[in-house]
Amino acid sequence: GAVVSQHPSWVICKSGTSVKIECRSLDFQATTMFWYRQFPKQSLMLMATSNEGSKATYEQGVEKDKFLINHASLTLSTLTVTSAHPEDSSFYICSARRQTTEKLFFGSGTQLSVL
């Protein structure tokens, strides 16, 4: 099946620094990717929709200046958590839709811990 690669799988950073998370669709092109965050024992919360070649669409309550999304190619979207704080510690998951199917494929997630 289709593969979505997410990197890094975990990261620890100091408060105030920025962290970049990459999401790649390895064997298909994805004009649209999605970013989610998940707190322990909670469901996935959609943060934003990443559109190749255009600005991302953010969900209500998600700060676009804090969570920068870039979708520069059909196989790569990045999420940058700027000036990270401990409350940004979470599990971040990306997904990509394969255009020839109606399935979403998910990355393995990135566990971010901000000290």
Partner 1 sequence: DAKTTQPPSMDCAEGRAANLPCNHSTISGNEYVYWYRQIHSQGPQYIIHGLKNNETNEMASLIITEDRKSSTLILPHATLRDTAVYYCIVRVAGNTGGFKTIFGAGTRLFVKA
Residues binding partner 1 (CB under 8 A): 4, 6, 32, 34, 36, 43-46, 49, 91, 93, 95, 97, 99, 102-109, 111
CA 68 – CA 110 distance, rounded (Å): 16
Evaluate whether 45 touches 36 at the Cβ level (below 8 Å): yes
CA 5 – CA 78 distance, rounded (Å): 12
We find the least distance from the C-beta atom of residue 64 to partner 1, in angstroms, to be 17
**Between 99 and 113, whose beta carbon lies closer to partner 1?**
99
We find the least distance from the C-beta atom of residue 32 to partner 1, in angstroms, to be 7
Token duo for residue 50: 């990443």
Sole residue written with tokens 């965050």:
37
**Between 26 and 46, whose beta carbon lies closer to partner 1?**
46
We find the least distance from the C-beta atom of residue 107 to partner 1, in angstroms, to be 5
**Between 5 and 82, whose beta carbon lies closer to partner 1?**
5
